[in-house]
Structure formats: structure tokens, C-alpha cells
Structure 1
Amino acid sequence: MLGHEIRKGAYGRVCKGLDLENGDFVAIEQVPLQSSAQEDLNIIMRQINLHKDLNQKNIIKYLGFFMTETHLHIVLEYVDNESLANIINPNNFGPLPEPLVAFYVAQVLEGLVYLHEQGIIHRDIKGANILTTKEGVVKLVDFGVAMKLTEADVDMHFVVGSPYWMAPEVIEMSGVCGASDIWSVGCTVIELFTGVPPYNDLHPMQALFRIVQDEIPPIPDSLSPGVTDFLRQCFNKDARLRPDAKTLLSHPWLQSWKRRVVLQSSG
């Protein structure tokens, strides 16, 4: 049974749903069939096949799909809290403090370690695609533009993702890779600290130009040296020199906050 809309998905609105057999809440993404070309539906089914076997706590669970005359319905795990983009909205809590940003970012990286080990690139990491449970567990959502690394050479000539979070090699169509997600993580860190991603004051096309031309995106002066170093590593223009997700999990900035949490809990 469909309930109210809870967010926008890659292909249509996402509604809260109720499983009438066991009473579980689920999330259901509705894809309108009439306005979707057959090619689009083929892509959606490819994404379903990519998503269905993923099983890691920081990745939203795929539960199944069903068809009606008007829609394809994709059934997903229901997450009770909002996205990080909603949480940092000025009408809610606004930009987040450093310990909480570190807590969330570490979980995003855990999810990316798993995805990249499966040979999958998310390609749209940003605050709006990171949900949290009421226990504070992060869930990466919206696999609408995710891809297998084996498909990278086929898909290289299409620029996909969200402009302000997009890596330079994606914009230049010079080869999307796992490191492209790491650039987006850097943009998301700035988003969580300031409320907006880098270049947000520019038109998207101007932002894309600056991402390619600038040596590094603007890093706010207010950030600590640890965060600044973390971001500089995420923003290495040479994707081959960007650290992978597992390496970044060991970055001193994340480790320092992890140690503080352990000390506080043991004290």
C-alpha cells in the first residue's frame, strides 16, 4: 500500500509503503511507464540487477520490484530519518559540527569501500543521496546512475551526476573511476560544513568550467588543518593519485575523532 511521498528518486518519486503481509514499512520508487522510453527502462532494469545483490549496512537494501499498468515500482529498505541535505537545511539544523561530519563521512567511506570492491561506482555522492537512520547509521541511496567498472569504457561519453559534486575527469569524459566518487566525498564534506557544495554561487555550467580549470575547489578558511588536508587529498586533479576509500578511512582527521569518541565512551 502506497503512502505519502518522502523524497525524489533518480527516476520518479519515492513514497513510503506498507507491506500488507507483515506490517513492515518500505520505500517505493515509482517509475512512470508512459513517459519512459524502452531504452530508459532497460537502463533501470540494469540498475536493479546491479543493486539487488548488494549487502552492506551503509548501502540501502533493494527488496524487489513489481509492475502495474502505469508504473514500475522499485521496493527498497525504508529509512526513518531524513537525508543529510535535509538535515543541514537552514530550516532544520544547518551546517554540522566537525565530530558529526567525521562520523557521517567515515560511514560514507565504508559504503564506498564495499561498492568499489564489488566493482561499482556510485557516481552521485552528495548530501541528498545520503540518508540516516534514527540510530545515526548512514545509508547511500539512489543508484540510478551507478555503474560497473567493466562498463566504464562504454559509458565514458555520457556526463552523469550532479554538477557541483562532479569530478574533473567526469566532466572532461576522460575516464570515470572509483576515484570520481572520492572527489564527490570531498564536495560533500564542504556541503556538510557550510550548507552548500563548492561553487554553489555559480551557474552549473560555470561551476563545471571552474572544476576543470581551478587547481583545487575553494576550501573554507574556517576548517581545521585536519579537514583541509583530507579535502586536498580528495581534490587531487589526477584521479590516479587520489587515495581510495579504504586509505581515507585511515586519515588522521577521521582517526582523531574516532579516538576521542572511544576515550569519551570508556571514560
Structure 2
Amino acid sequence: MDLSEKRNESPAGQVGNVVKSCIEERTNKDWIRDSGETKTDAEYSKKSCINTQTSQDRRRSGEKQTEHKEKTIKRRRNEDKHIQKESQAEKTSKDGSIERRKLEEGQIVKENQAEKTSEDERIKSRGFEEGQIEKESQAEKKSSKDARIKRRRVEETPLQMENLAYKKTSEHESYKIILLEKQKKKITEENTKGTNIEQKEERNKRSRAEDPLESGSIQKRPCLDIERPAPLDINSYNFHTILGRGGFGWVMLASFRPNKQLVAMKILKKKSEKNDCHAIAKEARLLKISRECAFLCHSYAVFQSELESFFVMEYASGNSLWEMILRERKLPTSRIMFYTAEMVVALQFLHSKGIIHRDLKPENILIDKDGHIKICDFGIAEENIIGQRTAHGLAGTPGYRAPEILLNEDYNAAVDWWSFGVTMYKMATGVMPFSASGSIQKQLYTIIMKPPNYPCDMNEEMLDLLPKLLEIDETERIGLNGNIREHAFYSNINWEDLENRRLETPFQPGMPPLDDVEEYPMTFSPQSSNERNNLKDFSEVDPNWNWQE
């Protein structure tokens, strides 16, 4: 390619060519104009020249833009490669650190294993050393023991020889001594023939004193050496359910194993706040006395353990009068007359023995299997109230207390007839005649200022009897003043037949079969001969209880 061609291809040459062509076109247009062409053609050629120039400018700008884009793309690719290299470098560094950590952990594990093996070796060596020491000590002990045995044998040999010699020499003398002792024994037997009866009595007294069910003696005997009658052994009873519970202890439904009889077992703690030995012994005495009355709850047997006292009583399967009132609200007059007549017999019997109950209420009046009433719970009863003797102190249940008790005065058996009247009113109406709430002063104010409201449909004879029972002046109260049996309310009662339980009862609850009750596990303290905790002359069995049948 020559120099002229290169110039033409260069940008300056291209511009020159364009100018040259424009001049040629101009000359051509002049020639055309001279030859008679129109002016519009010249203008058209001028516009085409300008368009060509602008298209070239656009081409150049487009090329510049493409070059710029290619540069930016290359720069971005270079940056991406640099970032990838950095990320790979970081990854490799992480992998290296992980591998380094693994190596370090493996090294630690190896070191731990090495330490463990060294520790095991130390333990083995220590065990071996200890075993060696034990063997040596055993060998020393054995050798020393053998030496001691040999030494003893050497020492004992002359002693044995001396003993044999002594035996041979003293054998004849001992024979003489035996003969002399036999002669003395015969003489003493002849001399003590007259005192055999006294010795037997002393031995009997000693055996009774040593009985753990009674007061213990100084020379104690194991409880297993003494055979107790079955009624006095807690192991002769199975327990089934709780019948009642209070501050005094609790009452359990139990069965006596020998004859499978259901009984009520009252259990009192000897060391509780509300019980003491005096109160427990008093209740045992009163339960024994109550056997003489058919309408008092009595005991079949009483006995004790180290911490408890047990009262085996007849089971009243008809529950209490309180539950009957709660269930029926008001009782028929005929039933009230029958039950209260039996209560009259029971109270008159207690008062004749100098006993006041002090807590007569429907909860303490039970119905037995034949439908007769049984007054129970002599825990706060008072003894020896005979003639002019009186009792003192707050006792009884709120609502059933006589006004003389609330006034903190001395009182006598009249308090039981007041409680009897409150109970009769409760049976007839289902409510209390006086409020049992509030302080003692408020209860006393209610009794004095607010007499009970008697229903208009109440039986006339009962309406006459109740005010006489609820008389504030105890000296005028019927029961203590006058014979209550002669009142018109009991005109249809044959008292002799009633006392002998010959009258027909309103209903007979019967006795549930033993198979219908489940066992209730109970544990008690042992029946020991501890003198401190045993009550003197406490345990006994009702002679009329046919427990062996």
C-alpha cells in the first residue's frame, strides 16, 4: 500500500475525501444548474453530505461506547477473579485451621489416653503393692499367731497337769460335799412344807404384776413369754373402716377373728393433749359399769399397748340419731316417744350411780342392730355426783349446755335433763331451740331472753314436757324435780317391758355381713411391759362376752 492510500484511509484523509466529494458535487450541481436542472437537487446533495458526516460521528461514538463497555466488563471480571481468589484463600485458611484443630484435639486425646494408661498402671502397681503388703501382714499375723499358740501350749501344759492332779485329789472331797448338800436340801424341804401356800400366793402376785397388760414390775419379762387371751391381743382383730374421729382419738369398725364378730374399737392415744391416764382409766370404769344398762354402750374388753389404749365395744349398725335427723329432718312423735323413753332409763341409771354424762346430744346416741338406742362417749363424764355433791367447769357441746354451766356455777345431774330437752326439741323440729353461735355470754343471753319457738302442730303432751325440761331454774327442772316417767307424754309406755327390751322397735337395722366390708391396714405400738406407760389394773374382758363361741 502506497502513501496516498494510507492517507486516504486515515481520519484526516477521510475528511479530505468528503470535502473533495462535496466540492465535486457542488461543481456538478453548478453544471446541472447551468444545464437547466432545478435548485432542489443541489439542496438535496448538501443534506446527504451532512447526513453522511453525522452517521460517521455516530459510528465513532458507538465504537467508543463499545470500547468503554468492554473495558468495564474486563475490569469486573478481574475484580470477580480477585474476590474468588481471596475467598479460596480464606477457605484454604479455614480448612487449615480445622485440620490444625483436629490435629490438636487428636494430640489431646492421645495425651489423655496416655495419662489414663499411666494412671491405670499406677493403680495396678498400687494394688499390687497393697496386695503384697496384705500378704506380708497376713504372713506376720500367722507367724505371730502360731508363735502365741505354741507359747500358750507350753504355758498351759504344766497348768493342765496341775489341774488333773487337783481333780484327782479333790474328787473324793467333792463327793463328800455333794452328800452334805443333799442332806441339807432334805432338811430345808421338811422345814418349808408349811410355807408352800404363802410362796404360791407370792408367785401368783408376781406373775400378775409382771403382766404387760397391767402395771409393770421392776423385773420385766419379754412380752412374747406371756400368753394373752385373744380379746386382749391386738392381733386378734381385723380393721375395716373409720366410724368416728376427734380430738380424743378415733373409732374403727373391727372384727374379732375367733368368732368373726363385728365390733367398734375405740383407740385413745395415751400422750395426746386431751387424754391422760386418769381420763382413760375413768372411761374404762364407766364402760364397765354401763354393762348393767341395756341402753348404754358398754365394752367387751379393754387393753393397752405402749402408746395406745383400746376399748372393744358393741357395734351400733344403725348409726347415730344425728344422722337419722339429718336424713329425715323431723321424726314422728311415736319414734321420739320410744327413743326418749329409752334415754330416760339410761340417764336415771347413770344418775343413780353418781354419774353425769355432760355431753348428751344426737351424735352420742347410737342405734344398735335391733333398733334400740345406745348412749356412748363417757370421755367428759363426771363421777361421784351423789347427794349434795356437785361438779364445776365448762363442759359439753355449744347449744346443748345448761345455763348453770354457762354461768360458771356448780351443777349436778340437772344439766343432763337440759341436754335431753334440747335433743328432744331437735328430734321434733329439726332445728336447735337456742343458737349455738357466738360467745358464752351471747349464748346465755339467747337462753334467758329468747325462749324457743314451739310449732303449732306439735303434740300437746310434748308441748307441755319440753318447757319443763328447758327450765332455766335447775331446781324446778323435770327429771331432777319429779318423776319424768309419770308425765303424760309417756302414758303409753310399759316401762318394765321397755327396760327388758321387749317393746317393738321402730325399725331394725340388722348387722352387715363380714364379707361386705374391706380390710383397713392399721399399725400400733408393741404391747410391752413398760411400767411408765402402762395403766394399773386396766386390762379386762367382759365375763358375759361369749367370744369363744
TM-score for both structures, normalised by structure 1: 0.85
Report SS of the residue matched to 1:197.
coil
Choose which of 62, 67, 73 in structure 1 pairs with 2:299.
Answer: 62
Deviation of residue 120 (structure 1)?
Answer: 0.9
Larger relative strand fraction:
1
Matches for 1:208-223 after TM superposition, within 5 Å: 208-210=443-445, 212-214=447-449, 216-223=451-458
1:12 is aligned to 2:12:
no
Larger relative helix fraction:
2
2:284 aligned residue? 48
1:253 is aligned to 2:516:
no
Deviation of residue 19 (structure 1)?
Answer: 1.1
Deviation of residue 68 (structure 1)?
Answer: 2.8
Choose which of 432, 453, 462 in structure 2 pairs with 1:197.
Answer: 432
TM-score for both structures, normalised by structure 2: 0.43
1:35-68 CA-partner distances (Å, limit 9, x unpaired) = 347x723222122223312211101112222223
1:233 aligned residue? 468
> Take 1:74 and 1:66, find their aligned partners in 2: how far apart are those partners?
7
> Take 1:59 and 1:176, find their aligned partners in 2: how far apart are those partners?
23
Q: Which amino acid aligns with 1:66?
A: F
1:191-216 CA-partner distances (Å, limit 9, x unpaired) = 11222322247436466223552374
Report SS of the residue matched to 2:337.
helix
> Take 1:216 and 1:235, find their aligned partners in 2: how far apart are those partners?
9
Tell me which stretches of 4 or more aligned residues in structure 1 moved more than 4 Å. Answer: 151-155, 256-259
The gaps in structure 1 that reach 5 residues or longer are: 260-264
Deviation of residue 2 (structure 1)?
Answer: 2.0
Report SS of the residue matched to 2:254.
strand
Report SS of the residue matched to 1:59.
coil
1:109-132 CA-partner distances (Å, limit 9, x unpaired) = 111111111111111111111111
1:84 is aligned to 2:321:
yes
> Take 1:163 and 1:201, find their aligned partners in 2: how far apart are those partners?
5
Instruction: Return closer, same or farther for 1:68/1:30 CA change in 2, 3 Å cut-off.
Output: same
> Take 1:22 and 1:155, find their aligned partners in 2: how far apart are those partners?
42
The gaps in structure 2 that reach 5 residues or longer are: 1-237, 496-503, 505-549
Q: Which amino acid aligns with 1:251?
A: H
Q: Which amino acid aligns with 2:402?
A: A
Kept in 2: contact 1:199–1:207 (CA 8 A): no
Kept in 2: contact 1:217–1:235 (CA 8 A): no
Which structure has the larger Rg over C-alpha atoms? 2
Identity among equivalent pairs (%): 26
1:74 aligned residue? 311
Kept in 1: contact 2:253–2:262 (CA 8 A): yes
Moved more, 170-179 or 67-76: 67-76
Kept in 1: contact 2:361–2:420 (CA 8 A): yes
Report SS of the residue matched to 1:147.
coil
> Take 1:71 and 1:36, find their aligned partners in 2: how far apart are those partners?
14
1:120 is aligned to 2:368:
no
Instruction: Return closer, same or farther for 1:29/1:207 CA change in 2, 3 Å cut-off.
Output: farther
Deviation of residue 20 (structure 1)?
Answer: 1.6
Instruction: Return closer, same or farther for 1:167/1:94 CA change in 2, 3 Å cut-off.
Output: same
Kept in 1: contact 2:358–2:395 (CA 8 A): yes
Moved more, 110-119 or 41-50: 41-50
Q: Which amino acid aligns with 1:146?
A: A
> Take 1:168 and 1:201, find their aligned partners in 2: how far apart are those partners?
13
> Take 2:269 and 2:461, find their aligned partners in 1: how far apart are those partners?
46
Q: Which amino acid aligns with 2:331?
A: L
Matches for 1:153-192 after TM superposition, within 5 Å: 155-156=391-392, 158-192=393-427
Q: Which amino acid aligns with 1:116?
A: H
